[in-house]
Amino acid sequence: MKFLFCGSGASEGIPALFCSCEICGKARSRGGKEMRSRTAYQFGESVRIDFGPDLFGQQNRYGLRLDRLEHLFITHSHKDHFTPLNFIYRRPQYVPLEKTLYLHAGEDIIEQTEKVLKENGSDFAECLITPVESVFFRSEEIDAEGEKMTVTPLPSDHLPAGKTRIYEIAYREKRVLVGTDSGIYPNETWNYFKGRHYDLAVMDATSGILGLRQVHMGRECLVETVKRLRQMGVYDDCTLVIANHFSHNGKMNHDDLEAYYGPRNIHVGFDGLEIDFSGHGRLVL
Ligand SMILES: [Zn+2]
Ligand SMILES: [Zn+2]
Ligand SMILES: [Zn+2]
C-alpha cells in the first residue's frame, strides 16, 4: 500500500489564486514541486484524509479511483479540507454507486454534510454514505484493502477550537502520525505521545518564516516540536519526518524549504510525494 500526498498547500494553494507575490511568481515560472494543491492524503485507493476543493484535479493527476474509496476521514471543517458539495456527485443521477463510503468525522462535519445533501435534495442513504462519529482517542479499526488499519484521532491545536483532529494510523508494523493543521499540540495529545513511536510523521509547516506557534506552525516551532519528540523517543533516527501544508504567506519556495529543513533531517512535502508501506524495514522516500 502507498501513502500519497495528494496536496501540500494551505487554504489558498500555491500559486495562490489572484496572487501577485514573489513566492507565487517563482512557483508559476518553476512549476513542479512548487505547485501546491490543497492538502489531503490517501492510503492506497480506499482510505483518504480530507476532501477539499482540489478533489477533482487530484483524481485526474494521480489516476485515483474514487469509486473505490471506502473510508474518508475529515480533520476539520476548514474549506481547504472539507468541501461537502463533493458528496453531491454520489447521487444516482450522476453515477451508479456500488460501495458504501464511511465518513469518519466530528459531529460538526457530519451535520454540515447532512445539511448540504438536504439542500440539494439528497441524503446519506441515497449517496451511500454511512457517517461514523469520530471521538478523540477512540481507535477505529477499518479494513484497508483486505488488511487491518487502526486509526486514532487526536486533538490538534487548530480552529474551530476543540473540533480539529490529527491522526495516528497503524498499518502492519508501521505507525504514522498525520499531524498537519496544528500548532504545538494540546497537553492531552502530548500525554498520548508518551511511550509511542512513529515511523512516519507529517508535520504542519504552514507559516514558514512568520513564526506562528498556535493554530499553525512556523519553521522554528516545527523544529522545536520535532526536537522535543526526538528527545521523548517518539521520533528516532528511523522516523521519516516530513513538513507539509505550506502557505505562500510563509514566504518560502520549495528550495528555501529544503535549504532550511534538510540539514535538520526534516523532509519537505510536495504534491505527488509517495511512500511505500508494502515492504519491511524503515520507510524511505
Ligand atoms: Zn488547512
Ligand atoms: Zn502569493
Ligand atoms: Zn485548517
Indicate the average pLDDT of the chain. Answer: 97
pTM score of the predicted model: 0.97
pLDDT at 279 over 90: no
User: If pLDDT is split at 50, 70 and 90, which confidence band does 43 have?
Assistant: very high
Spacing, Cα 157 to ligand 2 middle (Å): 25
Percent over 90 (pLDDT), the chain: 97
CA of 12 to the centre of ligand 3 (A): 11
> Can you list the domains of the chain with their CATH numbers?
2-271 (3.60.15.10)
Tell me whether strands 129-133 and 101-105 are parallel, antiparallel or unpaired. parallel
Ligand approaching nearest to the C-alpha of 22? 2
pLDDT beyond 90 at 198: yes
Query: Residue 102 belongs to what H/E stretch?
Result: strand 101-105
Residue 268 Cα to chain centre, angstroms: 14
Q: What is the mean pLDDT of residues 217-233?
A: 98
Q: Determine how β-strand 40-43 pairs with β-strand 47-49.
A: antiparallel
Centre of ligand 2 from the C-alpha of residue 80, in Å: 16
Give distance in angstroms: CA of 98 to centre of ligand 1: 31
Amino acid at 11: S
Q: What separation in Å is there between the alpha carbon of 236 and the centre of ligand 3?
A: 28
Segment 61-107, tens digit of pLDDT:
999 999 999 999 999 999 999 999 999 999 999 999 999 999 999 99
Indicate the helix (H) or strand (E) that contains 73.
strand 71-73
**Smallest-distance ligand from the CA of 9:** 1
162 has a pLDDT exceeding 90:
yes
Q: What is the pLDDT of residue 280?
A: 84
**For residue 281, pLDDT beyond 90:** no
C-alpha 214, offset from chain centre = 18
All three cell numbers of 99 = 460501495
205 alpha carbon, closest ligand: 1
Determine contact, residues 200/177, Cβ cutoff 8 Å: yes
The Cα–Cα gap between 258 and 212 comes to 19
217-221, 234-238, 253-257, 280-284: least confidently modelled range? 280-284
Mean pLDDT of 29-38: 98
Q: How far is the CA of 38 from the centre of ligand 2 (A)?
A: 14
Distance 216 CA to ligand 1 centre (A): 9
| Alpha carbon of residue 209 to chain centroid | 22
Q: In what order do the strands lie in the sheet with 47-49?
A: 129-133, 101-105, 71-73, 47-49, 40-43, 2-7, 274-276
What single-letter amino acid sits at 16?
A
Concatenate the DSSP letters of all residues of 244-281 into one string.
E-B-GGG---HHHHHHHHGGGT-EE--TT-EEE-SSSS
Compute the average pLDDT of residues 36-41: 98
